[in-house]
Each structure stands twice: as structure tokens, then as C-alpha cells.
Amino acid sequence: MGSILSRWWWGGDPDETSPVSGLTLREIYAVQSTWPAVYGDAGKYGMELFVRLFRADPETKTFFKAIRNLSEEQLTKSYQFKAHAINLMSAINLAVVNLKQPEVVIAMMDKLGESHEKRKVTPKHFDETKDVFVGILRNDLKLNAHQIKAWGSFVDFIYKHIFARLS
């Protein structure tokens, strides 16, 4: 009986891995249920992500012509760059919201990969961004190990399709 109720509650086997996304329903739930804490203050966390990324890997700052010569203090006051940070958070939001439609997420990530390929962004830069992002989730938002693992799986899924477009 518990198994039937569980399948009804989850809309299927909660531990079955999607052949498209590689995520389980439990992982999708973990990502979607923790995301509002970040996206609720998208400007703050988006800027924090970039500031920490630029500290961890200063080379990444060179991809942004408008801010490459700004100090960290000037950067945090730049409305133009804050808008870019919010755009990044909005792209993540669209992927998170559509996780139960992984083909839609793939199409979005293909476009994102194409736009970053033109700027010569490499998988190394994305991997550094993942490390910083997961650090924010772990240290600032205090997510548990299961939630962190789910976010890692989510990022791996979207990166797979972004990386396919990078040369």
C-alpha cells in the first residue's frame, strides 16, 4: 500500500532516474523546493555568485568588457552588472521550473551554450562557477547533503548540454 501511495504522491517512482535528465523525482523536488530561498533574492545571490567567482578565478572577469577594470566595490554598485546577475538567476530559474520537462531545459541550455561559445567561455569556467554556486548553497543556505547532491546532479545535467555547444 505504501508503494502505491508513494507513486501516487510523487507521480511515479521517486527514485527512478530520468533517462533524459539523469535526475530522480526526489532530486527534482530537492532542487525545486530549495530554489525559492535563492531566487527570492536573485540580485543579492547573483551578485554574490559573480563576486566569489571573480575572487576564485580572476580570469572569468575578463569575459565582461563593461566591468573587467572595476574594483569589487564598483562592481557591486553597477546596476548594469546587477542586471546581468539577475539574468543569470532567471535562466537558472527557468531550468529549475521546467525540470519535469527536461527536453525544454535542454533547448534552453543549447542556446546558452551557443551564446557562451561566441565569448570563448570554456567548461573550466563553468566548473568554477559550479563550485562557487554549490559553496553558496552549502555554506550560506545550509543545504543538507541530499540537497547538495541533487543540485550537483542538476548542474551536471544542464552543463552537459551547455558543453555540447562549446568548442
- Give the whole-angstrom CA distance, residue 85 versus residue 148: 22
Res. 1 pLDDT band, cuts 50 70 90: very low
- Give the whole-angstrom CA distance, residue 96 versus residue 86: 15
**Among 108, 80, 76, 81, residue whose Cα is nearest residue 92:** 108
Res. 13 pLDDT band, cuts 50 70 90: confident
Residue 12 has pLDDT above 90, yes or no: no
User: How is residue 1 annotated by DSSP?
Assistant: -
What pLDDT does 86 receive?
Answer: 96
Quote the domain boundaries for residue 137: 37-163
**Among 41, 14, 27, residue whose Cα is nearest residue 154:** 27
20 assigned to some structural domain: no
Residue 88 has pLDDT above 90, yes or no: yes
15 assigned to some structural domain: no
CATH code assigned at 67: 1.10.490.10
Q: Which three cell numbers stand for residue 161?
A: 548540454
Comparing 113 with 9, which gets the higher pLDDT?
113
28 assigned to some structural domain: no
45 assigned to some structural domain: yes
91 assigned to some structural domain: yes
* Summary mean pLDDT of the chain: 93
Q: Which three cell numbers stand for residue 6?
A: 508513494
- Give the whole-angstrom CA distance, residue 120 versus residue 103: 25
pTM above 0.75, yes or no: yes
Residue type, 92: I
**Among 68, 87, 67, residue whose Cα is nearest residue 77:** 67
Residues 6+ apart with CB under 8 A from 126: 116, 159, 162, 163
Domain count, the chain: 1
Residue type, 28: I
What pLDDT does 58 receive?
Answer: 94
132 assigned to some structural domain: yes
16 assigned to some structural domain: no
